[in-house]
Amino acid sequence: MNDRIEKRVELAAPISRVWRALTDYREFGEWFGVKLDGPFVPGQVSRGQITYPGCEHIKWEAVVQKMEHERLFSFKWPHPKSLDKADYPLDYSGEPSTLVEFRLEKTATGTLLLVTESGFDKLPDDRRLEGFRRNDGGWTEQMKNIERYVTKTS
């Protein structure tokens, strides 16, 4: 049974550019959609707030694992029991986590980025199912927001 997610992306940018986008906390925040409190340091907890529309109440927390220059960036990522607004603030410590790894390889045209998220076998099943249900709820809420907006402006 497959317990990990693997992605391969070809990027038309030099490896140094991709490395900076991944490991500079401000740049990471821009594309990931998170406002981080400070730089990534191996072995330390990175904290911040998700800025992606609809998810602004969600806290970002990860424990940085490895930063091997232009080769590997990894962090442990907690999958908390709840992402509902009602349950915040929530303590992430002790929550089961997955391992996220970004591996970089130089290619003729730019950079090959390999992303893996593993350790789903360590997550309790109810966590996964809650997560999925939560996502459904999130979309329903988004649809309502759009509806409200449309009816208000029409």
Partner 1 sequence: MAAGRQARAPVFAALGDETRLLLVAKLCGGQPYSISQLTRGSGLTRQAITKHLRVLERAGLVHNVRAGRERRFRFDPRPMEGMREYLDFVSRQWDQVLSRLKSFVEA
Which residues, in sequence order, are bridge partners of residue 30?
none
> Token digits for 84?
């509902």
State the nearest-atom distance from the C-beta of 124 to partner 1, in Å: 6
Binds partner 1 (CB under 8 A): choice among 128, 142, 144, 149: 128
- Please report whether residue 108 would count as binding partner 1 according to CB under 8 A: no
State the nearest-atom distance from the C-beta of 56 to partner 1, in Å: 16
Nearer to partner 1, 139 or 149 (CB): 139
**b/e per residue 3-23 (b: at least 16 CB within 10 A):** eeeeeeeebeeebeebbebbb
State the nearest-atom distance from the C-beta of 150 to partner 1, in Å: 23
Tell me the C-alpha distance between 32 and 46, whole Å. 14
* Only segment of 36-44, 66-74, 111-119, 145-153 that touches partner 1 (CB under 8 A): 111-119
> From the CB of residue 100, how many other CB atoms can be counted at a distance below 10 Å?
18
C-alpha atoms less than 13 angstroms from C-alpha of 12 in its C-beta half-sphere: 0
State the nearest-atom distance from the C-beta of 39 to partner 1, in Å: 18
Amino acid, res. 132: F
Would you tell me which residues interact with partner 1 (CB under 8 A)? 1-3, 5, 7, 9, 11-13, 17-18, 21-22, 27, 30-33, 113, 115, 117, 120-126, 128-133, 135
